[in-house]
């Protein structure tokens, strides 16, 4: 890690991420051996993914941008206790984030879903879905405009 130039700013940005809740490493499917080239840090407000060996990239996704969480487990993953978590987000860089071959999959999935909902409530960014609203209903709305 490089030298921190502004410690106060670094402390403020670290504090804004919230408490570190989970730290996972991607694993090889064979015997669930840790593969240290993909790391996931799950904070209260941010999911950070660090990838690479020689060239390292770090990507953050705010919790309030996570719209859905899915867990998948193949037969081999179930045999060694691993899971793949798929996150569907409104993030600009990654619409779909795949956390492949991680331990404690169900626990992490449930945490991500709960943390994303609480982050949306805190930021007042809860999206409501219009269930049953089709193109035929648009004309009905126009009729209400002509009443007055």
Q: How confident is the model at residue 145 (pLDDT cuts 50, 70, 90)?
A: low
Going along the chain from its start, the domains and CATH numbers come out as 7-127 (2.30.29.30)
Residue 89: predicted pLDDT: 92
Dihedrals φ, ψ of 80, to 5°?
Answer: -110, 5
Cα(43)–Cα(64) distance, rounded to whole angstroms? 12
pLDDT tens for 19-32 read 889 999 888 887 77
Give alpha helix (H) positions in the chain: 7-17, 75-80, 105-123, 138-145
pLDDT at 144 over 70: no
Cβ count near 63 (within 10 Å): 24
């Amino acid at each position: 890690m490089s030298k921190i130039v502004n410690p106060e700013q670094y402390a403020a940005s670290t504090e804004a991420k919230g408490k570190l809740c989970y730290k996972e490493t991607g694993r090889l499917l064979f015997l669930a051996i840790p593969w240290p080239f993909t790391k996931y840090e799950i904070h209260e407000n941010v999911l950070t993914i660090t990838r690479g060996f020689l060239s390292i990239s770090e990507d953050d996704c705010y919790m309030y941008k996570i719209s859905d969480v899915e867990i998948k487990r193949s037969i081999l993953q179930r045999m060694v206790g691993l899971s793949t978590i798929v996150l569907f987000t409104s993030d600009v860089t990654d619409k779909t984030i795949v956390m492949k071959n991680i331990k404690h999959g169900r626990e992490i999935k449930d945490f991500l879903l709960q943390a994303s909902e609480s982050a949306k409530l805190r930021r007042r960014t809860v999206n409501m879905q219009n269930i049953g609203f089709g193109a035929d209903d648009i004309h009905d709305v126009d009729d209400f405009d002509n009443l007055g």
